[in-house]
Amino acid sequence: MQTAAHDEDSVIEIQQVTTRFGEHMVHDAIAFDVRRAEIFALVGGSGSGKSTLLREMILLHRPDSGSIKVLGVDLQTAGNEETLALRRRWGVMFQQGGLFGALTVIENVGLALREHTELEDDLIDDIAASKLALTGLAREVGAQYPSELSGGMMKRASLARALALDPELLFLDEPTAGLDPDSAGGVDELVRTLRDRFGLTIVMITHDLDLLWQVADRVAVLAEGKVQGVGSMSELAHMDHPAIRQFFAGPRGRAAQETQQAGAQTDNRNKRPPSKPK
Protein backbone atom coordinates (compact mmCIF):
# COMPACT_ATOMS: atom_id res chain seq x y z
CA MET A 1 0.00 0.00 0.00
CA GLN A 2 3.02 2.22 0.24
CA THR A 3 2.66 3.54 -3.31
CA ALA A 4 -1.00 4.57 -2.93
CA ALA A 5 -0.37 6.13 0.47
CA HIS A 6 0.09 9.64 -0.89
CA ASP A 7 -3.40 10.01 -2.34
CA GLU A 8 -5.21 8.10 0.37
CA ASP A 9 -3.58 9.91 3.23
CA SER A 10 -3.67 13.43 1.85
CA VAL A 11 -6.85 15.28 2.66
CA ILE A 12 -5.50 18.53 1.22
CA GLU A 13 -2.85 18.80 -1.49
CA ILE A 14 -1.52 22.26 -2.26
CA GLN A 15 0.80 22.60 -5.22
CA GLN A 16 2.57 25.67 -6.55
CA VAL A 17 -0.07 28.06 -5.28
CA THR A 18 0.61 31.65 -6.22
CA THR A 19 -1.60 34.53 -5.08
CA ARG A 20 -1.25 38.20 -5.92
CA PHE A 21 -3.17 41.28 -4.90
CA GLY A 22 -2.10 43.79 -7.53
CA GLU A 23 1.68 43.98 -7.40
CA HIS A 24 1.81 42.30 -4.02
CA MET A 25 2.69 38.60 -4.22
CA VAL A 26 1.29 36.98 -1.10
CA HIS A 27 1.99 33.33 -2.02
CA ASP A 28 4.90 32.41 -4.24
CA ALA A 29 4.54 28.78 -5.37
CA ILE A 30 3.40 27.35 -2.03
CA ALA A 31 3.15 23.58 -1.61
CA PHE A 32 2.27 21.22 1.24
CA ASP A 33 -0.07 18.35 2.10
CA VAL A 34 -2.40 17.85 5.03
CA ARG A 35 -2.79 14.22 5.99
CA ARG A 36 -5.88 12.40 7.19
CA ALA A 37 -6.67 12.83 10.90
CA GLU A 38 -3.80 15.14 11.61
CA ILE A 39 -3.91 18.48 13.38
CA PHE A 40 -2.12 20.79 11.00
CA ALA A 41 -1.29 24.38 11.88
CA LEU A 42 -0.48 27.37 9.70
CA VAL A 43 1.65 30.01 11.35
CA GLY A 44 3.41 33.15 10.19
CA GLY A 45 3.59 36.86 10.84
CA SER A 46 0.72 39.24 10.30
CA GLY A 47 0.10 39.62 6.56
CA SER A 48 2.02 36.45 5.64
CA GLY A 49 -1.05 35.10 3.86
CA LYS A 50 -2.47 32.54 6.31
CA SER A 51 -6.11 33.64 6.15
CA THR A 52 -5.91 34.05 2.39
CA LEU A 53 -4.64 30.49 2.07
CA LEU A 54 -7.43 29.26 4.31
CA ARG A 55 -9.96 31.14 2.21
CA GLU A 56 -8.52 29.46 -0.87
CA MET A 57 -8.93 26.04 0.73
CA ILE A 58 -12.63 26.68 1.38
CA LEU A 59 -13.49 28.18 -2.00
CA LEU A 60 -13.80 31.78 -0.86
CA HIS A 61 -10.85 32.96 -2.93
CA ARG A 62 -9.14 31.66 -6.05
CA PRO A 63 -5.35 31.55 -6.29
CA ASP A 64 -3.82 33.09 -9.43
CA SER A 65 -2.15 29.80 -10.28
CA GLY A 66 -1.35 26.39 -8.85
CA SER A 67 -3.70 23.71 -7.64
CA ILE A 68 -5.54 22.92 -4.42
CA LYS A 69 -7.16 19.53 -3.95
CA VAL A 70 -9.45 18.99 -0.99
CA LEU A 71 -10.78 15.51 -0.20
CA GLY A 72 -9.64 14.42 -3.64
CA VAL A 73 -11.45 17.22 -5.51
CA ASP A 74 -9.50 19.75 -7.55
CA LEU A 75 -11.00 23.09 -6.51
CA GLN A 76 -10.07 24.80 -9.79
CA THR A 77 -11.99 22.42 -11.99
CA ALA A 78 -14.81 21.27 -9.69
CA GLY A 79 -18.35 21.96 -10.89
CA ASN A 80 -21.21 23.37 -8.84
CA GLU A 81 -22.51 20.03 -7.61
CA GLU A 82 -19.08 18.89 -6.59
CA THR A 83 -18.37 22.07 -4.65
CA LEU A 84 -21.77 21.92 -2.94
CA ALA A 85 -21.02 18.35 -1.86
CA LEU A 86 -17.58 19.44 -0.66
CA ARG A 87 -18.94 22.30 1.43
CA ARG A 88 -21.00 19.75 3.35
CA ARG A 89 -17.91 17.73 4.17
CA TRP A 90 -15.99 20.51 5.90
CA GLY A 91 -16.77 22.82 8.77
CA VAL A 92 -15.31 26.27 9.31
CA MET A 93 -14.91 28.24 12.48
CA PHE A 94 -14.20 31.84 11.54
CA GLN A 95 -12.05 34.06 13.69
CA GLN A 96 -14.89 36.40 14.61
CA GLY A 97 -17.25 33.50 15.22
CA GLY A 98 -19.51 34.43 12.34
CA LEU A 99 -22.71 33.66 14.26
CA PHE A 100 -25.86 35.48 13.18
CA GLY A 101 -26.81 37.96 15.89
CA ALA A 102 -30.53 37.76 15.18
CA LEU A 103 -30.65 33.99 15.72
CA THR A 104 -30.32 32.09 19.00
CA VAL A 105 -27.31 29.85 19.47
CA ILE A 106 -29.29 26.69 18.75
CA GLU A 107 -30.77 28.26 15.60
CA ASN A 108 -27.27 29.21 14.48
CA VAL A 109 -26.03 25.66 15.00
CA GLY A 110 -29.02 24.19 13.18
CA LEU A 111 -28.80 26.54 10.22
CA ALA A 112 -26.63 24.32 8.01
CA LEU A 113 -28.89 21.37 8.77
CA ARG A 114 -31.92 23.36 7.62
CA GLU A 115 -30.10 24.42 4.47
CA HIS A 116 -28.52 21.12 3.52
CA THR A 117 -30.91 18.45 4.79
CA GLU A 118 -34.64 17.66 4.77
CA LEU A 119 -34.69 16.81 8.47
CA GLU A 120 -37.67 17.72 10.67
CA ASP A 121 -37.30 20.74 12.99
CA ASP A 122 -37.37 18.62 16.17
CA LEU A 123 -34.59 16.42 14.92
CA ILE A 124 -32.53 19.43 13.86
CA ASP A 125 -32.90 20.88 17.36
CA ASP A 126 -31.81 17.55 18.88
CA ILE A 127 -28.75 17.36 16.66
CA ALA A 128 -27.88 21.00 17.35
CA ALA A 129 -28.24 20.38 21.11
CA SER A 130 -25.92 17.39 20.86
CA LYS A 131 -23.29 19.53 19.11
CA LEU A 132 -23.57 22.15 21.85
CA ALA A 133 -23.07 19.43 24.45
CA LEU A 134 -20.08 18.11 22.52
CA THR A 135 -18.40 21.49 22.71
CA GLY A 136 -19.10 21.70 26.44
CA LEU A 137 -21.96 24.22 26.41
CA ALA A 138 -24.93 23.82 28.74
CA ARG A 139 -28.30 23.17 27.11
CA GLU A 140 -29.66 26.57 28.24
CA VAL A 141 -27.02 28.33 26.16
CA GLY A 142 -28.93 27.23 23.08
CA ALA A 143 -31.70 29.70 23.87
CA GLN A 144 -29.31 32.64 24.23
CA TYR A 145 -28.27 35.14 21.58
CA PRO A 146 -24.62 35.48 20.50
CA SER A 147 -24.37 38.93 22.13
CA GLU A 148 -25.09 37.30 25.49
CA LEU A 149 -22.13 34.91 25.32
CA SER A 150 -18.61 35.26 26.72
CA GLY A 151 -15.66 35.00 24.32
CA GLY A 152 -15.02 31.36 25.23
CA MET A 153 -18.71 30.43 24.86
CA MET A 154 -18.80 32.18 21.50
CA LYS A 155 -15.84 30.11 20.27
CA ARG A 156 -17.54 26.93 21.45
CA ALA A 157 -20.84 27.89 19.84
CA SER A 158 -19.19 28.60 16.51
CA LEU A 159 -17.32 25.32 16.78
CA ALA A 160 -20.65 23.57 17.43
CA ARG A 161 -21.98 25.21 14.29
CA ALA A 162 -18.94 24.08 12.29
CA LEU A 163 -19.65 20.52 13.47
CA ALA A 164 -23.35 20.55 12.58
CA LEU A 165 -23.03 18.45 9.42
CA ASP A 166 -20.53 15.98 10.92
CA PRO A 167 -17.64 17.21 8.78
CA GLU A 168 -14.54 15.16 8.01
CA LEU A 169 -12.43 18.26 7.85
CA LEU A 170 -12.43 21.23 10.17
CA PHE A 171 -10.88 24.66 9.57
CA LEU A 172 -10.24 26.86 12.59
CA ASP A 173 -9.07 30.46 12.33
CA GLU A 174 -7.46 31.48 15.63
CA PRO A 175 -9.56 29.22 17.87
CA THR A 176 -8.04 30.56 21.09
CA ALA A 177 -7.45 34.22 20.20
CA GLY A 178 -8.71 36.58 22.88
CA LEU A 179 -9.44 33.83 25.41
CA ASP A 180 -8.12 33.73 28.96
CA PRO A 181 -5.67 30.85 29.60
CA ASP A 182 -8.32 28.62 31.21
CA SER A 183 -10.74 28.91 28.31
CA ALA A 184 -7.89 28.52 25.82
CA GLY A 185 -6.83 25.33 27.60
CA GLY A 186 -10.38 24.01 27.21
CA VAL A 187 -10.23 24.64 23.48
CA ASP A 188 -6.92 22.70 23.28
CA GLU A 189 -8.64 19.69 24.83
CA LEU A 190 -11.63 20.02 22.58
CA VAL A 191 -9.57 20.15 19.39
CA ARG A 192 -7.66 17.08 20.43
CA THR A 193 -10.83 15.22 21.37
CA LEU A 194 -12.40 15.95 17.98
CA ARG A 195 -9.47 14.39 16.22
CA ASP A 196 -8.97 11.48 18.61
CA ARG A 197 -12.64 10.57 19.00
CA PHE A 198 -14.01 11.36 15.54
CA GLY A 199 -10.91 11.12 13.37
CA LEU A 200 -11.40 14.67 12.09
CA THR A 201 -8.66 16.30 10.07
CA ILE A 202 -8.05 19.75 11.49
CA VAL A 203 -6.39 22.73 9.85
CA MET A 204 -5.92 25.69 12.14
CA ILE A 205 -4.39 29.12 11.97
CA THR A 206 -3.00 30.22 15.29
CA HIS A 207 -0.53 32.47 17.05
CA ASP A 208 -1.00 30.49 20.26
CA LEU A 209 2.28 28.73 20.99
CA ASP A 210 0.80 26.70 23.83
CA LEU A 211 -1.89 25.39 21.51
CA LEU A 212 0.78 24.57 18.92
CA TRP A 213 2.92 22.66 21.39
CA GLN A 214 -0.06 20.90 22.94
CA VAL A 215 -2.03 19.73 19.91
CA ALA A 216 -0.41 20.38 16.51
CA ASP A 217 1.05 17.33 14.77
CA ARG A 218 2.68 19.41 12.06
CA VAL A 219 3.10 23.10 11.53
CA ALA A 220 3.81 25.04 8.33
CA VAL A 221 5.63 28.35 8.74
CA LEU A 222 4.68 30.98 6.15
CA ALA A 223 7.01 33.91 5.45
CA GLU A 224 7.94 35.94 2.42
CA GLY A 225 5.42 34.16 0.26
CA LYS A 226 6.91 30.71 0.90
CA VAL A 227 6.46 27.82 3.26
CA GLN A 228 9.75 28.11 5.09
CA GLY A 229 9.42 24.81 6.88
CA VAL A 230 6.92 22.09 7.77
CA GLY A 231 7.32 19.76 10.71
CA SER A 232 6.41 18.98 14.28
CA MET A 233 7.09 21.77 16.76
CA SER A 234 10.17 19.96 18.05
CA GLU A 235 11.46 19.52 14.51
CA LEU A 236 10.88 23.20 13.75
CA ALA A 237 12.54 24.22 17.00
CA HIS A 238 15.74 22.63 15.69
CA MET A 239 15.60 24.13 12.20
CA ASP A 240 18.20 26.72 11.49
CA HIS A 241 16.19 29.17 9.44
CA PRO A 242 15.79 32.90 10.20
CA ALA A 243 11.97 33.03 9.87
CA ILE A 244 11.53 29.90 11.95
CA ARG A 245 14.05 30.98 14.57
CA GLN A 246 12.21 34.28 14.85
CA PHE A 247 8.99 32.44 15.49
CA PHE A 248 10.52 30.58 18.44
CA ALA A 249 12.84 33.28 19.69
CA GLY A 250 10.36 35.81 21.14
CA PRO A 251 9.60 35.74 24.86
CA ARG A 252 6.28 33.97 24.31
CA GLY A 253 7.95 31.38 22.10
CA ARG A 254 10.62 30.66 24.70
CA ALA A 255 8.09 30.50 27.53
CA ALA A 256 5.84 28.05 25.66
CA GLN A 257 8.82 25.88 24.77
CA GLU A 258 10.04 25.84 28.38
CA THR A 259 6.55 24.97 29.64
CA GLN A 260 6.39 22.17 27.13
CA GLN A 261 9.80 20.81 28.11
CA ALA A 262 9.05 21.04 31.83
CA GLY A 263 5.68 19.36 31.26
CA ALA A 264 7.25 16.57 29.23
CA GLN A 265 9.61 15.75 32.10
CA THR A 266 7.04 15.77 34.86
CA ASP A 267 3.79 14.65 33.31
CA ASN A 268 3.34 12.68 30.16
CA ARG A 269 -0.15 11.46 30.90
CA ASN A 270 -1.99 13.93 28.75
CA LYS A 271 0.70 14.63 26.21
CA ARG A 272 0.77 13.26 22.75
CA PRO A 273 3.99 12.31 21.03
CA PRO A 274 5.46 15.30 19.13
CA SER A 275 4.49 13.93 15.72
CA LYS A 276 1.71 11.46 15.10
CA PRO A 277 0.44 12.19 11.62
CA LYS A 278 -1.87 9.20 11.08
Site for ligand ATP in 231-250 (CB under 6 A): none
Pick what 44 binds: Mg ion, ligand ATP, none; C-beta below 5 to 8 Å, kind-dependent. Answer: ligand ATP
Smallest gap, in angstroms, from Cβ of residue 224 to ligand ATP?
Answer: 12
| Residue among 51, 67, 144, 259 that touches Mg ion (CB under 5 A) | 51
Give the x-and-dash track for 97-136 against Mg ion (CB under 5 A).
----------------------------------------
Complex with Mg ion: residue 51 or 144, whichever CB lies closer: 51
DSSP character string of 118-166: ---HHHHHHHHHHHHHHTT--GGGGGS-GGGS-HHHHHHHHHHHHTTT-
Q: How many CB atoms lie within 10 A of CB 139?
A: 10
Torsion over CA: 250, 97, 229, 242 (sign): negative
Stretch of residues binding ligand ATP (CB under 6 A), selected from 9-17, 47-55, 178-186, 262-270: 47-55
Rule CB under 6 A: is residue 228 a binding residue for ligand ATP? no
Closest CA to 108 of 136, 135, 145, 58: 145
Rule CB under 6 A: is residue 52 a binding residue for ligand ATP? yes
Rounded Cα–Cα distance for residues 38 and 174 (Å): 17
Complex with ligand ATP: residue 41 or 128, whichever CB lies closer: 41
Tell me which amino acid residue 205 is. I
> Which residues sit at the interface with Mg ion, rule CB under 5 A?
51
